[in-house]
Amino acid sequence: MSGVAFRDSSIVVIDTSRTSVHAILGLGELLPTPAVEIKARVGLRRSLHDSNGLSNGHAQPAASTSRAASAIPMSSVKVNDYLVGAQLDSALAAGEDIVVSWPFAEGDISDWTQAEAIWKHTLFGLLHLRRTQNESPVLLTVPPTLSRSSLAMLSQLFFERFNVAAFTLLFRPVAQIYAGNALSGIVVDIGEEYTDVNVIYDGFPVRECTESVKLGLQDCREHLVNILRTNQSVMTAISSPDAPLPEEDIKQALLSLVNHLLASGLVKPPAPASSVTGFSASAMPIVEEPEDGVTDIAAIVLAGKEKAVIENNMKKRASAKATAAEQAKMREIEAMDLVEIKDWEWGLREVVVGRERHRLCEPLFDPKLCKKDPNDGVWPIHEVIGAVVQRADVDQRQYVWQGLFVTGELARYIKGMGTSLQSRLMSYILSQPDQHNDVQARHIRVLKIPEYFAEYREKGDGLASFLGAGIVAKIAFHDPNGKNFVSKGEYAAKGPPAIIEMSASLL
């Protein structure tokens, strides 16, 4: 038995993805968004890197004297040698010769010293915990591909190096499906460079139903950059013919423009596939505003549409005051789906972008657009999802198709990708009417973070893993008699392997 219940204010949640770390100290009554966010990378000055004979920024492990059964690999480079967070950002901005490494980028932990440096900075540098008086329990999310020995080493690291009061682990796809208010489904995590697809059934990942494809938001950005190069007005605004910019500056300016379009919510997902018939998307509730201006305030607030209604009313008032010529121009701009970008970071130039901006996600459905080869295992994400679900047991599939959840970095900027995927996946469940049976799925349900998580309404579904981790942390650390976490006493008695039997989702 764990024997200890922890206060919400002392709980730490750390969500570690391939490219970022989100964390918080204290959960409160409502589940908040992350208090800190950093890139999951470290930097090592070139002099230290070369003097230690490192290759590609990764340290060579040496023997450890601590708990030989699950010893943490050590390296000749020390934890404090690595630059993390703002310190690394400042060194790079100053032009220092830094070797940058991403220890979680491949879906595993490629270097334990680098991983320790990131988590140490998060706990003590950003959350301001004190190692000698650390009374906080920690929930850490991890990829489902980690081996049991790696899970045990994580337990050892947090107890012996960080002196946590209690510790538990949660697989990221499980946390994500919980945030979608479901226990079974398909989690599609579209990150910067990879898209991870995982099938979850009854709260547990299905081991054989997981796949990663090297296709992500970075490919989408580069694709839109290439499209914008064909827009003469955009290119003229960025690089005037009278004073042309170097090629590298043009590329950076276009990338900056793409990032601005994303951050401003000006990019829509691809439309549902028109060739698919017989599917019905799970539409979001729409708050209608009558012509007389009277609105159902309660419905607006419940749906989290206050901002949209206010902006719509402001547009109507502005249109009413405009001259006939101005109104005609506004209608033309609206029909062409043009947006005028002002005050963006690249020289504060004004530029007009059309509906081509909505083509950003095309590489996800056609990897050849970004020169990705199927022979290299890079398939369209809807084909990857279909193939992964087909590996599940027949009697599991109908439950799995009831929870299509798109999350990850892309979902922080673009809402509605689930519906775009839904139509493209229908071919995997459609069949002849006489072949229907009790275990065959009839439709696909798209999940999203519920509206009642107010702080997440405007943030899309990209923070689902962090939200799900917070939900589990509140439950796990409040139950002293449940086998949901390892206390410091249990770690002392059983050692690192205790984490496997004391974290329900790892069983």
Question: CATH number for the domain including 151?
Answer: 3.30.420.40
Q: Are residues 339 and 390 in the same domain?
A: yes
The tens place of each residue's pLDDT in the chain, 507 residues long, gives: 456 779 999 999 999 999 999 999 999 888 999 999 999 999 999 988 877 766 554 433 332 334 434 567 766 889 999 999 999 999 999 999 999 999 999 999 999 999 999 999 999 999 999 999 999 999 999 999 999 999 999 999 999 999 999 999 999 999 999 999 999 999 999 999 999 999 999 999 999 999 999 999 999 999 999 999 999 989 988 888 888 889 999 999 999 999 999 999 999 999 887 544 433 333 333 333 343 444 454 455 445 555 555 566 666 666 666 677 666 666 655 566 888 888 776 665 788 899 999 999 999 999 999 988 887 889 999 999 999 999 999 999 999 999 999 999 999 999 999 999 999 999 888 754 544 566 677 889 999 999 999 899 888 899 999 999 999 999 999 887 777 899 999 999 999 999 998 876 665
Q: Are residues 230 and 127 in the same domain?
A: no
**Per the structure block, which two tokens stand in for 469?**
């981790």
C-beta of residue 105 within 8 angstroms of C-beta of residue 18? yes
Q: Domain of 141?
A: 8-181+451-506
- Contacts of 83-90 with CB under 8 Å at 24 or more apart are 83/42, 83/43, 83/44, 83/45, 84/38, 84/41, 84/42, 84/43, 84/117, 84/118, 84/121, 84/125, 85/38, 85/39, 85/121, 85/125, 85/126, 88/41, 88/42, 88/43
Q: Are residues 435 and 465 in the same domain?
A: no
Q: Are residues 154 and 266 in the same domain?
A: no
DSSP assignment of 69-105, as one string?
A: GGPPPB-SS-GGGSEETHHHHHHHHTT--EEEE-TTT
Q: Are residues 27 and 91 in the same domain?
A: yes
Instruction: Give the pairing of strands 137-142 and 166-171.
Output: parallel
Residue 51 domain flag: yes
Report CA-CA distances (Å) from 318 to 311, 313, 321, 326, 488: 11, 9, 5, 10, 62
Task: Give the total number of structural domains in the chain.
Answer: 2
The candidate with the shortest Cα–Cα distance to 304, out of 279, 286, 318, is 286
Distance from C-alpha of 338 to C-alpha of 356, rounded to nearest angstrom:
9
Give the DSSP letter of residue 272: P
**Per the structure block, which two tokens stand in for 83?**
């630059």
**Per the structure block, which two tokens stand in for 220?**
């989408």
Q: What is the 3-state secondary structure (H, E, C) of 342-393?
A: CCCCCCCCCEEECHHHHHCCHHHHCHHHHCCCHHHCCCCHHHHHHHHHHCCC
Distance from C-alpha of 431 to C-alpha of 189, rounded to nearest angstrom:
28
Q: Are residues 211 and 118 in the same domain?
A: no
Number of Cα atoms under 13 Å in the Cβ half of residue 276: 21
Residue 1 domain flag: no
- Residue-wise burial string across 294-326, b where 16 or more C-beta atoms lie within 10 A, e elsewhere: eeeeeebeebbbeeebeeeeeeeeeeeeeeeee
Residue 85 domain flag: yes
Q: Are residues 128 and 232 in the same domain?
A: no
Could you read off the pLDDT of 137-153 as tens digits, one per residue? 999 999 999 999 999 99
Domain endpoint, select from 448, 477, 497: 448
Task: Report the predicted TM-score, pTM, of the whole model to 2 decimal places.
Answer: 0.84
Which parts of 73-206 fold into alpha helices (H)? Answer: 86-93, 112-120, 148-156, 172-179
Residue 475 domain flag: yes
Q: Are residues 390 and 500 in the same domain?
A: no
Residue 2 domain flag: no
What is the pLDDT, as a whole number, of residue 434?
Answer: 44
| Beta carbons within 8 Å of 492's beta carbon, 6+ residues apart | none
Q: Are residues 406 and 455 in the same domain?
A: no
Distance from C-alpha of 243 to C-alpha of 221, rounded to nearest angstrom:
26
Composition of the chain by helix, strand, coil, percent to 5: 45, 15, 40
Q: Within 10 Å of residue 55's Cβ, how many Cβ atoms?
A: 8
Residue 223 domain flag: yes
Within its chain, how far is the Cα of 435 from the centroid?
38
Q: Are residues 475 and 374 in the same domain?
A: no
What is the pLDDT, as a whole number, of residue 63?
Answer: 29
Q: Are residues 120 and 90 in the same domain?
A: yes
Residue 255 domain flag: yes
Residue 3 domain flag: no
C-beta of residue 498 within 8 angstroms of C-beta of residue 166? no
Domain endpoint, select from 448, 463, 487: 448
Q: Are residues 316 and 463 in the same domain?
A: no
